[in-house]
Structure 1
Amino acid sequence: MERRAFILVEGTKWDGLRYVQAAQRLGLHPITLSADPSRYDYLAAEGMQTIRVDTDNLDALIRECSRLGESYSIAGITSAAESVYATVGKLCRHFDLHGPNPASIERCCDKFTQRQLLAEAGIPIPSYRLAANAAEVQRAAAEIGLPVILKPTKGINSIGVRLCRNTDELAEHTIHLLGGKHTWRSSPRILVEEFAQGPLYSTDIMGNEAIGICAAEFGLLPYFVYRGFTHPAPLTDDENERIIDVSLSCMQALGLGWGPSFVEARWTKRGPVVIEVNPRLAGGPNSRLIQRAYGVDLVTEHIKLAIGEQWDLRKRYSHSAGVRFLIADRDGTLDWISGDSQAAAVPGVVEVELYVEPKTPIVRKGDYQDYIGHVIAASPSQTRTAAILERAVDLVSWSISPFLTAGE
C-alpha cells in the first residue's frame, strides 16, 4: 500500500512541531520542504524527513513534489508560514489538492490592498495612506493627524511597526524604515495609519466559522509587543456578536473562507474597528490556548481540511486559558534566568518555555524578537487563570548586564 505523505512548506517556531506531530497522528508521513531546514530545531530533534528547496520558487516546489509523488501518495500540502502561503495555494491548485485561493492570500497579505478592499465593503477601519518616501509619509501624517502608526505594507509579528506621537518620532521611524535598517523584499511601501484607540481583540476563524475571541494586551508604547492573550475575551454578548459579525464580513470582502484566519480589531467609540486580517493561524502559542480553552485543535483540523477529510470544530468545554510573555526590559548580555521550574510547578500552569540561555546578547527591536519566554495557564475561570499567571510569572527572574563599551 502506497504511503500517504503530507507536505509542509517551511515550518514555524510556534506550531511547526505541532503540525508534524498532528500529521503523524492522522497516519500521514510528514515531509518538510524548506529553504533552510536548520532554522527549525524540532526537525532534527524528531528525525523528520526534510528536503532543502527554494520555497519562493513555485517551479522548484512543483518539481520536488512531483518527484515525491513517485514514491508517495501526496495526501495534502499546506503551511503555517504566511510568507509562503500564497505559493502553497498555487501548488495545491497545480496538483488538484485542497488549499487556499492564492489570489485572495496575496491581496490579504498586502496591507494597503487589504485596507482598500475592506473600505470598499464598508467595513470600519482606521484612516490610512500609502507612502513610498519621507515626504509622502509627512504629508500623509499631516492629513490623518498625529499620532499615527507607521508599518510596512507586508510583514508579520509587528516587525517595523511603531506608533509615532510627534514629528520627531515620525522622522525617526521613517529613517529606520527607509534608511537601511529594515529589510524590504521589494520597493519600500509604508502604510501610514490612524491610531485607533481601545482594547484589542482577535477573532480566530476556520473557514467561515468563528472559533472564539481572545483579548490581547500590549506592553509599553510606542511599539506593539504583545504582553499576553486571554481566551475567551471578557465581552458582553452584544460585543461578542458585533466583533464576530465584522470579522466574518472581512472573510467575504477579502475572498477568504478556506482554512485558518484571524481578525484583529480594536473596540473604539464607534464599536469594532478592524486593524488587520491575517490568512493563517495566529502565531505564538495561540492555537495551544484555543485547545486549552475550548478543546479544539486547530492544527489538526487544518490538516484534515487540507487532505479533504471532515473537520470537527465542536467545542468540548469552556475554560479560560492565557499566556504571559516574558519580555526583555533592557539591552545587554543575559547573565542568568531562573525560576522556570518553580513556575511550572504552580497548579494550573500548563507550559513554561524559555527562549534564551545565559550569555545571550539581548538587543530589543520592538517586536516579537524581544520575547525571552512565556507562561501558559488554564482553569475554569478567567479570574483564577489571571491569578495563576501572575503568580507563575513572578517566580521567573533574570539579570541583563549592559554591553561593555570600548575601553571597558
Structure 2
Amino acid sequence: MARRALILVEGHRSIGLLYVNAAQRLGLHPITLSADPAQYDYLAPESIEAIRVDTDNLDALIAECSRLRATYDIVGITGFAGDDESISVTIGKLCLHFDLPGPNPASIERCCDKFAQRQVLNEAGVSVPAYRMAVNATEVQSFATDIGLPVVVKPALGSGSIGVKLCRNVDELAEHTTYLLGSKHAWRSSPRILVEEFAEGPYYDADIMGSEVIAIGAAEFGSPPGFVFREFTFPAPLNDNDYKSIVDVSLSCLRALDLGWGPTNIEFRWTKRGPVVIEVNPRLPGTPDPQLVQLAYGVDLITEHIKLTIGDECDLHSRHLQNAAARILVPDHDGILDWIGGGSRAAAMPGVAEVKFYVEAKKSIIRKGDYRDWIGHVIVASSSVARTEVILQRAVDLIDWSITPFSTLGEEE
C-alpha cells in the first residue's frame, strides 16, 4: 500500500515545523514543494522530503504532484501564504484539480485582494474603515484628504504588515507613498494602494475553523508608524456581550466572502461604533496564535486543519483551560547582533511554554516596520491573568541581547 502523503506548498518560519510534526503524528508523510527549500531551516535537520519547484506555476505544481502520485497516496494538499497570499489561491486550485478537500479558490482570491474584500464587506453591512483605492501619488494625497489624517496606507495585496504604515501628517504620507511607488517595495502586479481610515481602539482577532469561532484574542502593537505586534493574550478580556458581537461579525464576514472551509483569521479594532473589521485572512495565522489557542482553549488548530485537509473528522470542541500570553522580542535599533541569550533560563521557569529565537549571533538586524522585525518570542500560560502577566515579564527580563549599530561599526573601521 502506498504511503499516505501530505503536500505542503512552501513553508513557514514559525509554524512550518508544527505542521510537519502534526502530519507525522497523524501517520502522514509530509512533502514540501518550494521554489527554494533551503530558506526553511527546519527541513534539513528533520530530514523532511523537500522538492524544488516553481510554486508560482500551477502547471508545474500539478506536474510534480502527478509525479509524486506514482509513489505516494496524496491524501491532502495545503501550505503557507508567507508574504505572497496568491499561494493560497494556488493551493485551492490544486485541491480542485486533484479532487481533494480544500478552499474555494475564487473566494480566497477575492479575500486576498484587500480592496475587493472591503467592497464585499461594506456591501454586506459589515463595519469597515472608510477606504479608497489609489494607483498614483496624486490619488493617495487626494483620498487621504477626503478621509482625513491620520490614515493607514498599504498595498492592496500582501500580508504580515509589509508596506503598511500609519501616516499622521502630509510629510509621512508623501514619504510612504514614495516608498511604495518606488523600487524598494516589491509589487507582483501594477501598484494598487489602499488608503483607509485609522480605526482607533483595542485590537482583537478571531481564530476560526470552518464556520466555528474557536478563540478570540487581544494584541498590542509597538510604537507607530509601523504595525509590529508586541504582545498577545488569549482569551481576550471581553464581557459576554462584546464577545458575542465579535462572533456575530465574524460569521457575517464568512457569509459575505463565501468562506467557511478551513482556517480564517479576522482582525478587529473596537471603536466607538463597536467592532470594525480591519482584515479577513483566509488562512491560519502564524506564531503565536496556534500555540496560545491550544494552551488557552485546548484546540490544536494545526492538527485540526490537517485533519480537515485529508477529509478526517475534526474535534473543534473548545473550553477555557488557561490564560495564555506571548511577548514578541523586537530590537530598538539596527546593526549586527553580537549575542542573544537567557533563553534556557526563561524556558525553565514554571508556566513558560516556549521560548524561541529567530536569529543567530553575527546576523544583520535591519528593521522594516513589520513582522520581519521579530527576533524571538516567549509564550506562557497559567490559571489567572495576573499570574500569566507576572510570569511573562519575569521570563522576558531573563532574556537580553546586544546589537552593535552600523554607524559604530563604520567608525571602528
Fold match, TM over 0.5? yes
Match of 1:405 in 2: 410
Counterpart in the other structure of 1:49: 49
| Equivalent residue, structure 1, for 2:4 | 4
Distance 1:198 1:272 in 2: 9
| Structure 2 partner of 1:223 | 226
Conserved? CA contact 2:206–2:217, under 8 Å: yes
Give 3-state SS (helix, strand or coil) of 1:97's partner.
coil
Report what 1:381 is aligned to.
384
Q: Does 324-333 or 392-401 show the bigger shift?
A: 392-401
Partner of 2:32: 32
Q: Once the two structures are aligned, what percentage of the paired residues are identical?
A: 67
Corresponding position: 1:186 with 2:189: yes
Which residue number corresponds to residue 157 of structure 2?
154
- Aligned partner of 1:261 among 253, 256, 264: 264
Q: TM-score, normalised on structure 2?
A: 0.97
Do the aligned residues in 1 keep the contact of 2:354 with 2:380 (CA within 8 Å)? yes
Residue aligning to 2:281: 278
Q: Which runs of 5+ in 1 are unaligned?
A: none
Q: How does 1:161-310 map to 2 (within 5 A)?
A: 161-310=164-313
In terms of mean alpha carbon deviation, does 139-148 or 73-82 score higher?
Answer: 73-82
Write the letter of the residue equivalent to 1:218: F
Match of 1:119 in 2: 122
SS at match of 1:33: strand
> How far apart, CA to CA, are the structure 2 residues paired with 1:14 and 1:300?
15
**1:69 equivalent in alignment to 2:69:** yes
Distance 1:14 1:252 in 2: 30
What per-residue deviation string (whole Å, max 9, x for no partner) do you get for residues 38-76 of structure 1? Answer: 011111111011111111111111111111111111111
Matched letter for residue 252 of structure 1: R
- One-letter amino acid of the structure 2 residue matched with residue 391 of structure 1: R
**Alpha-carbon deviations, 1:155-203, whole Å to 9, x = none?**
1111100000000000010011111111111110000010000000000
Q: State the secondary structure of the residue aligned to 1:55.
A: coil
Comparing 378-387 with 209-218, greater Cα deviation is found at 378-387
SS class of match (1:252): helix
- Please say if residues 86 and 109 of structure 2, whose CA atoms lie closer than 8 Å, have aligned partners that are also in contact: no
Query: What corresponds to 1:93 in structure 2?
Result: 96
How far, CA to CA, are the matches of 1:149 and 1:59 in structure 2? 37
| Number of the residue aligned with 2:372 | 369
Distance 2:364 2:207 in 1: 35
Q: 1:20 matched to which residue of 2?
A: 20
Q: What secondary structure does 1:42 align onto?
A: coil
Secondary structure in 2 aligned to 1:203? Answer: strand
Q: Is the 8 A contact 1:11 1:80 kept in 2?
A: yes
TM-superposed CA distance for 1:406, in Å, is 6.8
- For residue 405 of structure 1, what is the amino acid of its counterpart? G
Q: Single out whichever of 374-383 and 334-343 deviates more from structure 2.
A: 334-343
Correspondent of 2:136 among 120, 133, 138? 133
Q: Select between 2-11 and 189-198 the one with higher mean Cα deviation.
A: 2-11
The Cα offsets for residues 128-179 of structure 1, whole Å up to 9 and x where unpaired, read as: 0000110000000010000000000011111100000000000010011111
In structure 1, distance between residues paired with 2:56 and 2:386: 45
CA contact (8 A) 1:15 1:80 kept: no
Cα offsets for 1:17-41 (capped at 9, x unmatched): 1111111111111111111110111
Query: 2: CA distance between counterparts of 1:381 and 1:305?
Result: 32
- State the AA in 2 paired with 1:282: P
Distance in 2 separating the partners of 1:381 and 1:126: 34
Deviation for aligned residue 1:282? 1.0
- RMSD across aligned positions (CA): 1.2
1:380 CA drift (Å): 1.2
Which amino acid is 2:68 matched to?
L
1:356 pairs, out of 350, 355, 359, with 359
The alignment's TM-score, normalised by the length of structure 1, stands at 0.98
Which segments of 5 or more consecutive residues in structure 2 lack a partner in the other structure?
A: none
Match of 2:342 in 1: 339
Would you say the 8 A contact 1:325–1:375 is kept in 2?
yes
Shift of residue 318, structure 1, vs aligned partner: 2.0
Give how far 1:316 is off.
Answer: 5.3
Q: Which amino acid in 2 is paired with 1:196?
A: A
CA deviation map 1:339-367 (0-9, x unaligned): 21221122111111111222222111101
Does 1:330 find its partner at 2:333? Answer: yes
